Structure 1
Amino acid sequence: MKHFQVSWITGSQVLVGALFLVGAQFALSSLDASGKYLMGVDIALPLLTLCLVRYGVHMLLALALVIPAKGWRAVRCKRPGAQLLRGLSMLAATMSFFTTLHYLPLAQATAINFLAPLLVLAVAPWILKERIYLSRWVACSIGLLGVLVVIRPGSGLSTEGTLYGLLTACIMAVQYITSRKVAADDPYTTLIWSGTVGTVLLLLGLPLYWDMAVQALARLSAWQWLVLLGTGFWGCLGHYLQIQAYWHAPASLLSPFIYLQIVSATTLGWLVWGDIPDMVTWVGILVVCASGMTIGLIEWRRK
């Protein structure tokens, strides 16, 4: 992945990077919406079966995309332990978030996830050995306040879904931290490992849920099969577009654009389920997004 000096960045590079990142957020929201649809009461696809197909298709697409261009050397990584830990945290985050979506609307669940990058900044002095900055603690506190507004009593959100949402944000923070640990590897190597770790683990456990998986898959219509296979496509595409985004511009400049995912999540939630957050929930969502975007700009200026 390229390492930029800020003075070398042109407006066109940032624009292209931002467009790739917005595309990635739409792809990942499509993954989330597909998972929520498949786990709904009408289909009730088991979580492990859903995740196996999601990661298996991701792995096959990543191999088909990368190996012809870079050869099998692209599979080799410099820090296999860190890649394994990242893959584990990514699988855990996927399972936790799909469970969250079983209970919560897409927009509200996505807003809770926005707490994850703020948690990373808050724990960076201890985990990543970075300097302590008051601005990071302030941003994390404000972001947490926004999340509390979203999940406030009387919001109508499921308590169980809310707890899973908060758990997902914590797991995703671990995933972000481990992503920094594998920065020495080629991003396309990480793309392959992202799908492979989850696939291998779920295949190892397949004997435990084989009968349930076969029965569930046999019930699916052609359209539902297309949506299921699409989970792997959207997941792989989202990560690929993220790689392209950070290849064109540094993370510090692109971080504010991450929060545009709330637009795609809200749009898909409205189109598929007719879910529209109420005004107070929108205030909480905007507080979370504003805290993340502001600290992103502060971090860029600091660098």
Structure 2
Amino acid sequence: MHKHQSNSVIPDEAYRNQPIAGALFILGASFMFAMLGTLVKVVSTSLNNEMVVFFRNVCALIFILPWLAHSRPSGGIKTTCLRLHLLRSVAGLGAMYCFFYAIAHLRLSEAFLLASTSPLFIPLIAYVWMREEVTYSAKGAIIAGFIGIVLILKPGFGIFRPAMLVALATGVLVALAMVTIRRMSFSEPAMRIVFYFTIFSTVISAGPLFWSWQSPKPEIWWLLILIGLLAAVGQFFLTKGYSMAPAAQVGPLSYGNVVFATIIGWICWGETMDLLTWAGAFLVCMAGIITTRRTEAHVLVDAAVGKTPDP
């Protein structure tokens, strides 16, 4: 197996053997992302999706740049994988548009749950693109996960909403972004991947503002800044957590965002889930955990800054 290039995110073995600290960072990141989703739902009542996505990116850029400057990757920012960086950025940005749209039109728990299906699609995309073998246990988990998705979507029950497919598209696009990161991970340090995604996503998301600009109210500005801060801190916590303990140990805790989103949705909007959705949620989360445990740890470290629910 290729050895990942050294950088400040990939620590030595002694540093990686801190499962409790790593778990706390992952749970902290999950809470940050759930709060981010909550604020997105609030500001979406006043601003269109294009505005929310752009200001999430530009505010996060402001907060992330000092971290990137401190964690300068070996070899600087020069890359031979510009097309892959662009693909990763387009996929991640597309996932962000889909996710924020889903948050505005679905229950918070539903949006987070369907957006967290990326582990089910990663093995399929990796097989088609990179011819990576899918184990029998992973195949079984994927089938169970798709049964869970059907239980959540409930086609034919008269309560299906198109926004659910948009939320599901988030999981597909995040999976594409993570497989692209895997493709680059043998030559690109994690910080360089973060740099190009941050720059590309900010520049590209500025384009739609030429025809969709809205002037935010003064109180909304603070919420937009807070969304960017939560995104930056959440990404840092997620990367830190995966760097302090094996991904197989702490990775399942990333589904904490679904739990936090469910609790917040119930407290703030009285949102509840029916029994079929709970059953589907169980299958999706269990299937995601099984497939995640078979993903290489260094891939998850690199992908931490692009994992749902904040692509």
Superposed pair shares fold, TM > 0.5: yes
Q: Which residue is 1:97 aligned to?
A: 99
Once the two structures are aligned, what percentage of the paired residues are identical? 23
TM-score (norm 2): 0.82
Compute the displacement of 1:73 (Å): 6.9
CA distance in 2 between partners of 1:124 and 1:264 (Å): 30
Amino acid at match of 1:112: L
Alignment of 1:46-125 (within 5 A): 46-68=48-70, 70=72, 74-77=76-79, 79-125=81-127
Q: Which residue of 1 aligns with 2:270?
A: 274
Task: Name the amino acid aligned to 1:59.
Answer: L
Shift of the 273–47 alpha-carbon distance from structure 1 to 2, 3 Å rule, reads: same
248-257 vs 109-118, greater mean Cα deviation? 248-257
Letter in structure 1 aligned against 2:86 = L
For residues 218-254 of structure 1, the C-alpha deviation after alignment (integer angstroms, 9 at most, x for no partner) is xx242x2221111211112222112112222233333
| Distance (Å, rounded) in 2 between the aligned partners of 1:252 and 1:155 | 37
Task: Give the structure with the higher percent helix.
Answer: 1
Rounded Cα–Cα distance in structure 2 between residues aligned with 1:114 and 1:145: 15
| Counterpart amino acid of residue 2 in structure 1 | I
How many angstroms does 1:68 deviate by? 4.7
Instruction: Report the count of equivalent residues.
Output: 287
1:181 aligns with 2:183: yes
- List gaps (5 residues or longer) in structure 2: 1-8, 297-311
Q: 2:235 aligns with which of 236, 239, 247?
A: 239
Task: Evaluate the alpha carbon distance shift between residue 275 and residue 66 of structure 1 in structure 2; reply closer, same or farther with a 3 A threshold.
Answer: same
- 1:21-62: per-residue Cα shift (whole Å, max 9, x none)? 12112212222221122113xx2x011111111100111111
TM-score normalized by the length of structure 1? 0.84
From the superposition, tell whether residues 13 and 157 of structure 1 become closer, same or farther in structure 2 (CA, over 3 Å): farther
Spell out, residue by residue over 1:145-164, the C-alpha distance to the aligned partner (whole angstroms, 9 max, x if none): 11111121587855221121
The CA distance in 1 between the partners of 2:208 and 2:294, in whole Å, is 45
Deviation at 1:200, TM superposition (A): 0.8
The separation in 2 between residues aligned to 1:199 and 1:164, in whole angstroms, is: 22
> Residue type of the partner of 1:185?
E
Q: Distance in 2 between matches of 1:157 and 1:36?
A: 21
Is 2:257 the counterpart of 1:288?
no
Aligned to 2:302: none
**1:123, distance to aligned residue in structure 2 (A):** 3.4
Structure 1 stretches lacking a partner, 5+ long: none
Two-structure CA RMSD over aligned residues (Å): 2.7
Residue pair 1:74, 1:188 contacting (<8 A) in 2 also: no
